[in-house]
Structure 1
Amino acid sequence: MKEIVRVSLENEMDLILAHKRSMKLAELCGLSLSIQTTFATAVSEIARCAIESGAEAFMLLGIDFLKANRKQVTAIVYDTAPYTPKWQEAVSYAKRLADNVKVVRNGAHIEVSLHLEINFAGVISPAKLESFIQYFESEPPISPYDEIRRKNIQLQDLAQRLRESEASYSFLSDRLPLMIFSVNHLGTITFSNKWLQDYLGIPITQLDIAHWQQVVHTEDQHRMASDLNQLIINKKALRQQYRLRQNSTGKYLWHMISIQPAENDRDLTTQWVGFIVDIHAQKLIEQTLKDNTELKETQQKLVYHQQQLEQKIEALNRSNYELEQFAHLASHDLQEPLRKLFFYADVLQQKYRETIDASGVQILNNMTQAAGRMKELIRDLLAYSELNQREFEFGEVNLDTILEELLKDFEIVIRDKGAVVRKQPLPIIHGNAVKLRQLFSNLLSNALKYSKAGVTPQIDITCLQTPEALAITVRDNGIGFDPKQQHRIFELFERLHSRSRYPGTGIGLSICKRIAELHHGSISATAEAGEYASFQVTLPLSQQSYIHTA
C-alpha cells in the first residue's frame, strides 16, 4: 500500500481528523459525496473504538494497487488493545457501511482495514499520489490542537532525519533561529546545534543533567532537575519554561524548552530530542502588562519587545517552512521514480518505435516533457533548501511558455468541459518561475472549476504592458461571485461557494496574492454573480530595484 497520510488516535480531536482526512482522500480519488461520507463514517466507527480502548493506536490512509491496474482507497487502524465485544460491534457496524472490511489479530495487536475500490483508477498516477501526500502535508490545521499535534510530529520527524542523515540535519539546524539538542538516557547531551553552544558558552561534553545548574537561574534549578528526571524515568514529553544564562551578557533570559522521546528501530526510547526557543520578549511583555507602572517607560518596552518577538516569530516561521520543504523531499526518493519513468520512456521509443502511432509518440513526448518539468522542479527545490541565504531567487521567466505548459497540463479538463481558452502572447519578465507557475495554475484551475452548467466555458487571458510593469487578466464566463465579496475573496480559508458543489481548501487565491506580493506586485478581482469573474495580476518586469525580505 502507498501510504498517503497517518493519523494518531488518542482523543476526540483525532477522531474528527480521521473522518475529515478519510473524506478528503476519497474526494481526491474522484469518488462521489455519498461514497465519501459512507466510507468516512465506517472509518470513524473503527477509529472511535480504537480511541475508547485507551491503548496506543493510529490510522494509515493510502492507496492499494490491485491486479489489472485497479486501485482502492485503504484505511488501516492499528491498536494494541485486546479484541473485545466492543470491537466486534464496531466492526459489524462498519461492515454495514463498507463492503470490504478485514480484521487481523496478531497477539495483542489488532489491525482493521477498510477498502474502497476506485472507479477510473487509471488516472491515479504516481505523480497524482505524490500530490495527495503533498496536499495533506501542506493543508492548514483544522484546530489549535491539530496545529500543536503537527508541531510534535515535525519534531519527531526531525529526530528521525537526524539518525538517517546527521550531516544534512546539522547543516539545517545551524541555520534555524532556535537551539536544538538531543540527550541520551544518562542525561548526557549527544548533539547540539551552533545556536545552543554559542548561547551557553559551555562545551556540550561538559553539559548534562547534573551540570544544568551552571546555566539555569537559581529559582528554576530545582524545578528543572525534577522535570528532567521525570522525563527520563517516565519516557514522556516535556514542555516547560526556564531562565537560562546568556554567555555573552551574563543575563538570564526566559526560554521555552520542548523535549520529545525518540524511539529506535526496536521501538525503545533511547534518546530525547528537543528545542529551545527564546520567549524572553514575550515574558517581559506579559510582566509589563501585569505591573502597568511607570506608563511611559512601560510603553517603550512594550514596543521594543513586541518588535523583537515579531522578528523572532517571522524568522522561525520562515525557517520552519524551509525545514518542512527539505524534510518532505529528503523523506521521499523523488528522483528514483523519475529516473525509471525516463528509462521506460526511452525503452518505448527505441524498442517499440514501429508499433506506436504518431498520436502515441506525441503522448509519449508530452509525458517525457512533463516528467522533465517535474525533474527540474525537484532539482530547484533541493537546491533552494541548501542555500545559505534566504533571499527569494529571481531570473528570466517566459510567461508565454508557462501558460502553454499549463494548458497542456489542463488539456483533459479543458476537453471534457469543452472549454474555449483564448490567450494573448505574454512577455518575458524577471521573477521566480516555480511560484509564477503556481499562481497561474490556481487561476486557470478556478476558471475551469467554477464554470456554469450547460454553458461552454470561455477563458480569456489578456496582457497590458507598460515600460515598467504588466497586467495579466484571466477572465471567465463562470458563476462569478457577489461584487460585495471582493474584499473577502483573497482572505485565507475564505470560501464564497459551497464545499459540496465546488471542492477546495479556500487558500488558492490567498496563495496567488502572496506570490504576487513576493514579486512586488498585486492581484485584484472583479465579478458579477452568475455572469463572470476576472482576476488581474500586476507584476513589475524587473525585480532589480527591490530588495526581497519576505
Structure 2
Amino acid sequence: MDLIVAHKRSMRLAELAGLSLAAQTTFATAVSEVARYAMEQGTKPVLILSVLASPKHHSLVAAVEDDQLVVANPLNQGLLYAQRLVEKLEITNAGSGSRITVYYSLPTSRKLNPTRFTDWRFQFTADQPVSAYEEIKHKNEQLKELALRLQDSEQHYKRVTDSLPLMIFTANQLGQLLYANAWVNEFTGATLQLLNQTKWSTVIHPDEQAGFWQHWTQQAVKGLPFTYECRLRQAGADMYQWHLFTAQPIKSDPGKIAAWTGFVVNIDAQKIVGQTLQANQELIQAKANLERYQKELEITVSELNRSNAELTQFAYIASHDLQEPLRKIQTFSDLLVLQYGKNLGAAGTELLSRMQASAGRMQALVKDLLAFSRLTTQTPFKHLNLDKLVAAVISDLEAITQQKQATIKVDLLGDIQGNEIQLRQLFQNLVSNALKYSRPNHPPVIQITATAIAVNDLPVTLVPIAPPYYISIAIEDNGIGFDQKYEDRIFRLFQRLHGRGQYEGTGMGLAICKKVVDNHQGFLQVRSEPGKGSVFTVYLPNFTK
C-alpha cells in the first residue's frame, strides 16, 4: 500500500460524496494517519474504502487491515489524532492481525442509492493512481487556490470593515494591534505600528490609561471578553469624547486563544444624556429637600413670630401695668412734700427726694421698654424726606441745645422709604446722646451728613440683603467718646458705660436705635476714641434710587 495513493483515493471518495475541500482533507488525513501506522507496524496492509448508508445515518468508511498488525494500547499519537478527526475509530482483532476502521459522517440530506454507488465506483476505478510528483503538484495547485480564496476573503473583510463608521481591530494578548480598519488610522491619525509603540497614549485620556491597560491584562490572562469605557481624542481635536471598547476572544484550538477581535464606538451622546438624567435626578432631589427645608423654615418663622408677638404683648402689658403704681408713688410723694414737708425734717426730706428720683428713673425705664416693644416691622414704609424729619428732631431738642450752647450742622440728606415714627426716634436718640455725652467746657459740635453709595462700597464686614443702593448717614460729635472695644456692648439692652451719677439714662437708647435700623434692613456702626468724640454711621437701603 502506497501512502500517497491512500491519501489521494480517500480524497477522491470524499469528493464524490460531495464534501467540501476542508472536509475532504480531514477525512483523507485521518485515513493517511491510520495507513502510516499500519505500514510501520504491519507487513502488507490493505486499504478498503466504502460507503455505509442507512435511513438515519450515512458515513464514509475506510478500513486498513493486516494479518501481522498488532495495535498497541494506549494508542499511538497518529491514531489518537485520526480519532479526533473522524466520527469513530474502531479496532478489531482478526486472528493474529488487526483491522482499523474509521467512520466519517455524511449529511443525511444527501440521497444515496445503488445507481449513485455504481456511478461512484465507475469514476473511482477509472481514475488511475498518479506519481508522487503529480500528487505534490496537484496539492500545490490546491494550496494556491486556497491562498487566493483566503486573500479574496481578507480583501472582502477589509472592504467591509473600512466602510463601517466605527473602529474595528484585531489584537494579541498584549493588546498589540494585528489588524485595524481605515477608521482607526483616520480617527487617531497614527499608524498601527505607532499605536502599538505608544500604547494609545496620545489617544486615550491620561486619567484612564492605567485603568484601561490594567483591565485589558486581567481579561486577557483569563481569556474573557473585554469591555471598557474611556475618553478618546480624535486627531486634530482638543476635546475628548467618550467611547466604548469591546473585544471578544477568538479560539483557534480548544483552550487556546489566537487573538481578540473587537470594535470601538462613540458613546459620548449617550454619556451626556445619562449625566443629564443623573443631574436632573439630583436636581429633583435637591428641589424636594429645598421645599422641605422651606416648610420647616416657615414653621420655625411662624413659631418665632408668634413667640415675638407674645413677648411684645407681654412687654407692653407689663410696661403699661407698671406705670400706674409709679404714677401713684410720684403723686403721693408730691403730696407728702407739699403737706408734710416741714414736719419731716432734713433726713426725711432727703429720703423722700431719693424715692422720687428712683420712681422717676423707673418711669423713664418703663417708657423706654414700652417704646422698644413697639418697634416692629409690621408698619408699612412710606416715602419720607429726611431733611424735614431731622429738622423736626432738632426742633424738639432746642431747649437742651441752647442750654449746652451746641452747634448742629446738617447737610442735604435726601429722601428715603421708611417708618417715620421709628426713624424719628432713631435720630432723636443719636442726637440726644451727642448732646448728653459732651465734654465739660467744650460746647458740642454735631455734624450730620449723608452720602449715596452702591452696595459694593459698603464696609466688607456688612452682608447686604437689600437693593443695590444705600444711603450712608453719619452723626459726628466732639464729645467724650469711648473705647472702641465697647462698640458691640453699647447696642445691647440696659448697657451703660458710665454711672448714673455722671450721666442719666436707662441704657436702652442705642438698643432702640439698633432695632430701628434692623427693621429697615440696614446697618449701624460706630467709630470712637476717648476724648475725641464719636461717629455713628447709619446705612439704610435706598429704595428711591
What band does the TM-score fall into relative to the shorter chain? Answer: 0.3 to 0.5
Q: TM-score, normalised by structure 2?
A: 0.33
TM-score by length of 1: 0.33
Larger CA Rg, structure 1 vs 2:
2
